[in-house]
Structure 1
Amino acid sequence: AHNLLAALVDAHLFHGNDLHLDPNQISWLRAMDMNDRALRHITLSLDSKKEGARRQGGFIISAASEIMAIVALAKDRKDLRRRLDAVVVGMTREGKPVRARDLAATGGMMALLNEAILPNLVQTTDGTPAFVHAGPFGNIAHGTSSVICQEMGLRLADYVVNECGFAADLGAEKYFDIVMPQSGIVPSAAVLVTTVRSLKNQGEGDLARGLPNLGKHIEILRSFGVPIVAAINRFPDDSESELKRLAAYCAERGLTAALSEGYAKGGPGAKELAEKVVETIEKNPSPGVHALYSFEEPLVDKIEKVAQKIYGADGVKFSELANANLKRFSDWGYGKLPVCVAKTQYSLSDNPKLLGAPSGWTLNVTNASLSAGAGFVVVISGNMMLMPGLPKVSRAASIDVDDSGRITGI
């Protein structure tokens, strides 16, 4: 569906460009589900002599596609159609937005997404039902499964657990500020998953130095007014003393915590955690969960609030390109949309090497793009790329197939 729209944009240019679409201001890139840095910036239509020949384009990874976000946020097919209609692909030479509906693209995309909008029902090894539906990554998109599967789960079960990608600064913030206001689904509690391993990484090998990172994530979740339970995810090489120190750190901050061994033991390994979550919900029937900002606030103010109150930045530095795009979006009437910050998942800051709970730093906003159909403005920070690249030694090097046809290395 994403690439159909991209093809229709270029077909429109080729066949006369009746909409006066500016080839140099087309914002709709192509998408594919493969890390490939060589496709970030490409030249299109090299063999054409029509308008749009040799224009600059590129690819993003599927998880960053606005269509992915739309599928995840749409409540039903009617809402899906409305959102697809509203996708902005670029602007005219007169500076007006051009939308998917202007290209008569919505019907074809609807047909391609007709079954994709239906959640996939799977089960855990213990037989617990689970929905797997949509994949907008929490570092480059809003980071949670579809609204449709959440609503189905709430109708079918007493408790529904919804994963928010990465951590409180990314998936959780975007849930409270984007998904919750759009869907009306208000969480009863938040489970903050932590590990000795991750905190030692944040402390460059020292658990004590990494603990302030956990403290910041606790602070972030509390700023939304949601009750919290810490899940201490145990790894086989964790020492008892380290696990006790981590539990004590949570207790010192008045946080309920439970050891989680679901990976190793299945349901019984997560029983204590589940009981504490239920107990926390029952003790807090009306917690007053709220978003960080009002949609009425200007886009720049929303970005500054996320940077300072969530990430812990001193301030925000906007590039000329970012400022120009944010002003354009506001002029087009999109200033009341929430913001979706694309930021590294490795640090609370925009620098993946700045670990722990850094202070005295500035968030660098390099660009901004409009996801009008999804209902947010994407804010690019630091060196974030919407098309990742492969490392020097990729996982492909360790994957193979044996003579019996069995895949190995996964």
Structure 2
Amino acid sequence: MNPNWHGTLIRHLLLLITGCLFIGLISGYYGWSLVVGLGLYLGWTLKQLLRLHDWLRNHQPDEAPPDGYGLWGEVFDSIYHLQRRDQRVRGRLQAVIDRVQESTAALKDAVVMLDSHGDLEWWNRAAETLLGLKTPQDSGQPVSNLVRHPRFKEYFDNGNYAEPLEIPSPVNDHLRIQLYITRYGNNEHLMLVRDVTRLHHLEQMRKDFIANVSHELRTPLTVICGYLETLLDNVDDVNPRWKRPLSQMQQQGERMQTLLNDLLLLAKLEATDYPSDNQPVPIDALLRSIKGDAQALSGQRNQTITLDIDTHVALKGSEAELRSAFSNLVFNAVKYTPDGGTIRIRWWADHLGAHLSVQDSGVGIDNKHLPRLTERFYRVDSSRNASTGGTGLGLAIVKHVLLRHHGHLDISSVLGHGSTFTCQFDPVQVIKPRISASVS
């Protein structure tokens, strides 16, 4: 539109009034000439408005606006130019979208876009291979209706996507897929799915190898330790010089047996996702038993072990597995707390779930070691672990037990001021928390 359209409109009106006055001069009816002229101009303007309104309501996507002349011609021309510019912008945007879709379609990993309710909006070709999605009939369907694995539904509804989820493919049970979910925009979801079958097979081979080797070593080691124990029981009948070597051999044999037992327990924990005996566990009785064992382990070291329990909070799971995890934490606290130190065990529940904390006044751990403490065989101080008989697998066992019970381990420590290990369990594992009571 002409930027000086105000001046053009005024000139048109002046020309109209001048023409009406000229006709009035000839006819002698100035008033009627102005009324008729302005009425005709108003009628023409209303006609152009109706043409514009009709075009706006009924025009096709690429249909040009109607022709016109004068001021309305400039209005229609301006709309036409805006329309052409919008088409060019939409064309560029569509080209970008097409390029993105082509590039994602070439990916071997599946890309799935979900709305805030978890309904399918768009996916690439790999999603059809890995998840069995079909175009276009699956569009708008809830993703949980198409990926029916119970762990996926639980994972998606939980909303905690910090860690990926690995499940069998809904298309082929022999395929293992790993899912990553990210929120974006207005609480929409972007789901990436990767085929990890090869990695899963390699991991399974590693687990099978460790389990088989541990089983094969267990029998000969038991025989060796049995004979060593027999020789030590009758050490007076053999050369006294053999007493020290036999004692060291027995000590290392017991250490090897402990290591094999831990490896076999880890293999068992990794074999399934959930405990087979998922029953209510009375945590109060369990912790009292572990406290008694810890006091026996402490012996004459004058350590103070206190217990603070919410006696009405139970937990669903395997009592044997929970005992293994909790006793690992408590016994570690006893081992690494100096004589006369304090160890506080606390069990409670709140709106976030159930919690067990084991706090000690030991030597503490440098922050750089904390992220790796739950790795197998990772040791902060190898000499300290050797002196206390640790295998480096205790915290790895704790981690796997907690994962199987919908929990995780938080670790905080300050050098010279002790450490706190806290097991956090999701509310789904807690059984009927009521009024709290303390026991020391």
Task: Please state which band the TM-score falls in when normalised by the shorter chain.
Answer: under 0.3
Q: TM-score, normalised by structure 1?
A: 0.26
Structure number with larger C-alpha Rg: 2
Question: Which one has the bigger helix percentage?
Answer: 2
Q: What's the TM-score, normalizing by structure 2?
A: 0.25
